[in-house]
Amino acid sequence: MVDGEDDATDTGDGFGHVPVLLDRAVELLGPAIEAAGPGGSGAVYVDATLGLGGHSEHFLRSFPGLRSVGLDRDPDALDIARGRLAEFSDRTDFVHTRYDGIADALDQVGLDRVGSVHAILFDLGVSSMQLDEADRGFAYSKDAPLDMRMDPTSGITAADVLNTYGHGDLARILSTYGEERFAGKIASEILRAREKSPFRNSGELVELLYRTIPAASRRTGGHPAKRTFQALRVEVNSELDSLRAAIPAALDSLAIGGRVVFMSYQSLEDRVVKQELTPRSKSRSPEGLPVELPGMGPELRILTRGAERASDDEIDKNPRSAPVRLRAAERIARR
């Protein structure tokens, strides 16, 4: 998945994308899968952001005993993934849900919410398919209806946000979710423009942003619409709230020795992941005690040194991996 459209290209694998950091994901999650049994026999892998199924296909092919549970809020993505993974139908389950629905999804497929999963992958952001489909409204380079819903069957659209939110809320989401320096100025221009005509298409918003953001900032800060489009998408899909709810549920589902990988494409997502993982990797025993108090030791072992970035070779092969920040952890105990 990706978080922008700079460097967006068709990578030509037959499904329009190459899975990001695939080898590193296998390197990190593979030991937990292999520990369950030969060929991953008895292991459960949860792809919390199934998308087009590229990561899942590789894991299912690499571990012939592995069972996979794929989650996605986008019904179109689920349909494509079902077709792609049809040869593994006896080892795959698909659940239409956001990733914060992981506990209910495990219930739905007959797995325990606690301790039943050996490997989990979160590949966050907007999927290649969603970005490439012009009528979804994610891409600022294509004029399309301002939708931006990852699940097009429910929820508010980006047009709803632009046409109904007050100045304070608009400025807040642009500043918080888009880290936009000119959030207040843009919010004022949005209110002024919608008095004449409601926002319907992305081209109208892009034109407003070109008029509003100073020329000097446009020359040095990337595409002037990038931050605003990111902010709207995060708001429409409640992405950060979903992630905050999803991580504890995902960690609860891990068996001892189970592992999780997070791939984030913006600093806001990565910050949430770090804030959730770090406390669980530290002892809660008072400092100075000679022994660890029962039940107070670390739950997790962090497997990465900070947030890993894609190598130059990876970016050359797959430009959409350029912004990725990867973190991984292993469950070593249960408090």
45 known ligand binder:
no
Beta strands in the chain (DSSP E): 44-47, 67-72, 92-96, 117-123, 254-264, 300-302, 325-331
Cα 314 to Cα 8, 19, 64, 311: the distances in Å are 14, 11, 27, 5
CB 37 within 8 A of CB 43: yes
Q: Which residues pair with 327 in a beta bridge?
A: 262
53 known ligand binder:
yes
Residue 51, both tokens:
């998308």
- What count of other Cβ atoms lies within 10 Å of the Cβ of residue 274? 16
Measured at the CA of 271, the angle between CA 266 and CA 265, to 5 degrees, comes to 20
83 known ligand binder:
no
Crossing angle between the packed helical segments 54-62 and 75-84, to the nearest 10 degrees: 30
User: CA nearest 304: which of 80, 8, 94, 25?
Assistant: 25
99 known ligand binder:
yes
Residue 144, both tokens:
């399309």
266 known ligand binder:
no
54 known ligand binder:
yes
User: CA nearest 229: which of 316, 126, 308?
Assistant: 126
10 known ligand binder:
no
Cα 147 to Cα 138, 200, 210: the distances in Å are 8, 9, 20
CB 28 within 8 A of CB 59: no
Q: Which residues are documented as binding site?
A: 53-55, 72, 99, 123, 130
Q: Which residues are documented as binding site for S-adenosyl-L-methionine?
A: 53-55, 72, 99, 123, 130
